[in-house]
Structure 1
Amino acid sequence: MEVAFWSGRSDDLGYLNQEYTELNHALLYGVLTVPQFAKIHIKHLHGIVSDGYALFVSLALRVVLELYNKLVDSVKQQLIWVVHEIVGVSGVGFDGLLVGLLRHTVGCDYTDRGLWLCFELINLFLANFTSLLEEEPSVLTSALYVYLRLLADHCRVSGNVRVDLLKKLEIEFCVKMLRGQFHLSMKIGRDLVRLLQDLVHVPEFRCIWKDLVLDATTFRTEGFSDVAQLYSTRTSSRYFLLRVTPEMELQLRFLLVHVKFSHLKRYQMWFAKKFLFEPERETLIVDMIRFICCAHHPSNEIIHSDSVPRWAIIGWLLSCCRKKYVEANAKLALFYDWLFFDERMDNIMNIEPAMLLMVCSMPQYVGMTQSLLEFLLLLVDNYDQVRSYTIAKGVSLAFNSLVTEGVNSLDTLTSCDALSPFLKERLKKLLSSTNETLPHQLYPGRLSHCSADASPLETPSSHPKHEPAGA
């Protein structure tokens, strides 16, 4: 292999850069498609590398994010092998490569292919735990978020030997993080509590949960003494991206940016067929709602256009829930930031969809409004009875901010004849008990999508079994 001597001229530098790029492309292709020569290709890569493997890693990441689902099994196996190699040499950007692969793990996918990726990654994290802790500890926090979420699905499966073995590894990793590296675990923020709450029935996590809510000092983490400190830490949107695959993210953003409200039903058919028709995939709705609320914030231009609003997609997703526990988790995902809202650190866009869904469902779908408001008030009373005042104040501040920012007036809820008088009285009592002065003017600026004739609430079971042309 000949490499031209660099004379220092810009055209020589360009030639070398082009050759280096082409060599990286060729070596990645060879590693992925010709397994018997993979070790030789990696040796060649080690020999030519001049950028800390940054270019090679970026090319591998493109494969992960753009092509993974189209790869044959042998190429996927080689991809995992090369990731092990890159982690071993601490290639620049390897953390992004791991995060990209984590996004392709799906908790409700119990096929051999789906479980295989979960196995490969959890083994990688356990085998390289010490080195990752030293070099890229944030990727361990991302893995913790993912595997806590996966466990919520995997722990509902019994009688599957492969899932049982996977659960043991997942529990080992998560407990290792929570007990030994809680200072990293708590970087997740308040959603760490939400995920742990879903695993209280698992003995290993029941003990962790008790310590968290009753004696947080057992975690021996400087500056941490009460679960309320997690409540007050908003979870970064990057964690919600971890639980929607790149393909799901692409299609959800397409729905929320490019689809007009009048065309929504045909795209719902297509989306449901692709992601929601299989019964076990229903749990994905929780992650989708969290993503829409916290990781997709449309511009003012989109908000005031006739594109499908976030509240409409969320309302439809809620109507797709068949299992009661999935519906409850989905509503919790919708309202979670309300419970601890603080306008100094929280984003009003995270709580806006729930308010607009309650308001825009009236009067035609008042049952949706009543169900959501009832659930929110139950959360105030029961989510954490020891800290109930803190939660009541958070919800009250959320309403206050929504009214102040012009999302809607509280009169829309408190004066609706179709709503239960008991719920309206409970809401008024909540707001008055927290001593917040709430304005009641109507600000219609963001309500262009609200219409009694708008019907986002189509369920997968009512969709025809075909893909609409052009979708």
Structure 2
Amino acid sequence: MNQSKLLKINPHESENPLDLSLKESFSLCQSQLRPPFPLKIPSPTEYSHLNLALIYGTLTEPNLAKTHITHLHAIVVDGYKLFTTTLINLTNQNYHKLPETPRAQLIWVTSQLVQVSAVKVDSLLISLLRQISGGDFSEPNLWLCVKLLEIFDQNWDRLLDEQPLVLKSAVFVFLRLLSDHYRLVGIGNLDDLKRLEADFCVKALRQRFALCMKIGRDLVRLLQDLVFIPEFREIWKDLLFDPSKFQVPGFTDISQLYCVRTSSQYFLLRISPEMETHLRFLLTHVKWGNQKRYQAWFAKKHLSLPGSETVIIDIVRFICCAHHPSNEIIHSDVISRWAVIGWLLTCCRKNYFLANVKLALFYDWLFFDEKVDNIMNIEPAMLLMVNSLPQYVDITHTLLEFLFLLVDNYDVHRKEMIARGASTSFGILVRKGVIRSLEPLISCSLLSPLLRERLSTFVSTSNLGVVMKGSSDFCSRQLERTRVAECHVEVSK
């Protein structure tokens, strides 16, 4: 069979199953792909083959792409579901293997599907958003940013009416990317991209803030990282001092955003499907004692580019908020989430990124509410601090010190709310049996006396005496699964 024009397959690799299926359908239906098209209604099997053939032709024959799409419009009976679903699978599994022409055609056909409101086109757009790699400033990656922004701009009203989740997702992605892109100068057309990203995000925030609010508290975290950009500095000022400018009924204070937990679906947006697979493998199958080899493999694969350090922020949010291991995994000898995060902290070389990684780790602590928040989101930070004693006491010290800096300085006008969130976090982690008590931290002579005194005072004034002594009434058997802090295992470096 002829070499595929759709994917770049190395000589040592076996044929890709999806590529093979598309190619076979194209070969089978080739006589039907040129006008005049047959007038008969295809059988279900013929319809399936024809859809796959049209995908292959659209992606590999740009000069005939309009003909193929016209043909698709004429035969479609399922709202384009099969066509779109196949493109989603291709994007999730093989986007990085697509040559330049099929990539360009994939973007073009996506824009065509948006215009006809194809079934699952929202999932296709989100799949493409996930292919934008954090910390990757190569031309193909920046090109993908530009092309997706053009689709969102050209279809603003349609997406706003039909796919608001996609627009919220795009706002989250491009706010996060802006932070990285604005810190770089002299890279090709990066200035043009930054302008497109800023214009899109400002438009969404100024015109549709009620929609953006649904992102939750991480919207504040992202905006805070952009205050050095003039138009975002103005948005930040309005958030703090004049929320009425956003014209959202009932929105009167930024603390209302603090109280909304960000859904895990947003953290998946900054992790490519391939990276998600590798992270879940690391956190589900790799056992203590073998982790260094797999961590080195992961770092070489995903953290080796010059700017890739920034993606650690997104990985930590993903681990805390989107990967919650099962009871079976927690009780097994699989490496724990806190240990992987401890290793990731050692991968940060620049203080700015290290501070943002710590903020990502503690962010839900600052606003924790047992009624809306998940204890698994705050568990890794606590276990990392406790399990780093005594061998890696510097990790415990820097994390605890950073947490108190956040309590004192993150939002001085709402310090009471933040202190309450942090104290609630300490309290529930003890009550639910994640740790027996805070005594290992308070009594550790290797920690700074000032820090130990601050912790002791903090929990005492927060009516958390039980936290210092430990709870005699531990949680039910269902929640005892999190009591892995009793096992003091070395944090891999």
Q: TM-score range by the shorter chain?
A: over 0.9
SS in 2 for 1:140: helix
- Please say if residues 135 and 305 of structure 2, whose CA atoms lie closer than 8 Å, have aligned partners that are also in contact: no
- How far 1:437 moved relative to its partner? 5.0
Q: Which AA in structure 2 matches 1:413?
A: L
Contact 2:386 2:485 in 1 (8 A): no
Shift in CA distance, 166/432, structure 1 to aligned 2, threshold 3 Å = same
Partner of 1:138, secondary structure, is helix
* Bigger mean CA offset, 160-169 vs 360-369: 160-169
Q: Select the residue among 251, 264, 272 that pairs with 1:224.
A: 251
2:214 to 169, 173, 187: 187
Q: Which residue of 2 aligns with 1:248?
A: 275
- Which residue does the alignment assign to 2:447? 419
Q: Deviations over 1:170-199 (max 9, x none)?
A: 000000000000001101000000000000
Q: Please, which moves more after superposition, 301-310 or 427-436?
A: 427-436
Cα distance in 1 for partners of 2:70, 2:64 equals 10
Q: Secondary structure at the match of 2:324?
A: coil
Tell whether 2:362 aligns with 1:326.
no
Partner of 2:387: 360
Residues 396-429 of structure 1: CA deviation (Å, up to 9, x unaligned):
0001110011000211211212111111111122
The 5 A counterparts of 1:8-47 are 16-47=43-74
> Structure 1: any 5+ residue segments left out of the alignment?
6-14, 458-471
User: 1:302: which partner in 2?
Assistant: 329
What is the one-letter code of the residue matched to 2:142? L
- What residue in structure 2 maps to residue 283 of structure 1? 310
TM-score, normalised by the number of residues in structure 1: 0.92
- 1:216 CA displacement: 1.1
Residue number among 448, 454, 460 corresponding to 2:490 in the alignment: 454
Q: Percent identity?
A: 56
Change (3 A) 1:433 1:215: farther
1:4–1:16 Cα contact (<8 Å) kept:
no
- Contact 2:153 2:200 (C-alpha < 8 Å) held by counterparts: yes
* Distance in 2, Cα, partners of 1:255 & 1:241: 16
Measured at CA, do residues 161 and 117 of structure 1 come closer, stay the same or move farther in structure 2, by a change above 3 Å?
same
Measure, in 2, the Cα distance between the counterparts of 1:186 and 1:278.
Answer: 33
2:291 paired with 1:264: yes
Residue 370 of structure 1 and its aligned partner are, at CA, apart by 0.4
Give, as a single letter, the amino acid of the residue that structure 2 aligns with 1:411: E
The CA distance in 2 between the partners of 1:449 and 1:137, in whole Å, is 41
Could you tell me how far 1:37 is from its partner in structure 2?
A: 1.3
Contact 2:84 2:124 in 1 (8 A): yes
Kindly indicate whether residue 197 of structure 2 is the aligned counterpart of residue 205 of structure 1: no
Give the aligned residue type for 2:57.
G
2:105 aligned counterpart, secondary structure? helix
Indicate conservation of the 8 Å contact 1:306/1:449, yes or no. Answer: no
Taking the aligned partners of 1:453 and 1:148, their CA distance within structure 2 comes to 37
> 1:448: Cα distance to partner?
4.2
Q: What letter corresponds to residue 124 of structure 1 in structure 2?
A: I
Do 2:267 and 2:321's aligned partners in 1 also have CA atoms closer than 8 Å? yes
Residues 206-253 of structure 1: CA deviation (Å, up to 9, x unaligned): 000011011211111112110000000000000000001111100000
Instruction: Specify which of 167, 172, 182 is matched with residue 194 of structure 2.
Output: 167
Matches within 5 A, 1:75-90: 75-90=102-117
| 1:398 aligned partner | 425
CA distance in 2, matches of 1:262, 1:205: 46
- Counterpart-to-counterpart distance in 1, 2:284 and 2:427: 28
Aligned to 1:347: 374
| 306-315 or 434-443, larger mean C-alpha shift | 434-443
Find the aligned partners of 1:127 and 1:134 in 2 and give their Cα distance.
14
Aligned counterpart, 2:169: 142
Question: What whole-Å deviation, never above 9, does each CA across 1:11-64 have from its counterpart, x for those lacking one?
Answer: xxxx93222211111111111111121111111100110111111110110011
Matched, 1:106 2:133: yes
Distance 1:3 1:309 in 2: 60
Decide which moves more: 345-354 or 211-220: 211-220
**Distance in structure 1 (CA, Å) of the matches to 2:134 and 2:102:** 22
Higher alpha-carbon deviation: 392-401 or 424-433: 424-433
Matches of 1:27 and 1:257 in 2, distance apart? Answer: 39
1:453 shift after superposition: 5.3
Task: Single out whichever of 439-448 and 202-211 deviates more from structure 2.
Answer: 439-448
Q: Distance in 2 between the 1:172 and 1:400 partners? A: 43
Does the CA-based 8 Å contact 1:370-1:419 persist in structure 2?
yes
2-structure distance, mates of 1:216, 1:311: 37
Provide structure 2 residue ranges, at least 5 long, that are not aligned to the other structure.
1-31, 33-37, 475-479
Deviations 1:241-293 (A, max 9, x none): 00011111000000000111111010011111111122310000000000000
Q: Which amino acid aligns with 2:354?
A: E
Give 1:9's aligned residue: none
Higher relative contact order (CA closer than 8 Å, sequence separation 6+): 1
2:266 aligns with: 239
Superposition TM-score, scaled by structure 2 size? 0.88
Q: What one-letter code is carried by the residue in structure 1 that aligns with 2:453?
A: E
Q: Whole-Å Cα distance in 1 between the matches of residues 488 and 292 of structure 2?
A: 16
Q: Given that residues 321 and 327 in structure 1 are in contact (C-alpha distance below 8 angstroms), is that contact kept between their aligned partners in structure 2?
A: yes
Letter aligned with residue 55 of structure 1: L
Could you list the per-position Cα deviations for residues 57-114 of structure 1 after superposition, in whole angstroms to 9, with x for gaps in the alignment?
A: 1011001111101111111011001001100111011111100000011242211111
- Counterpart CA distance in 1 for 2:43 and 2:76 is 12
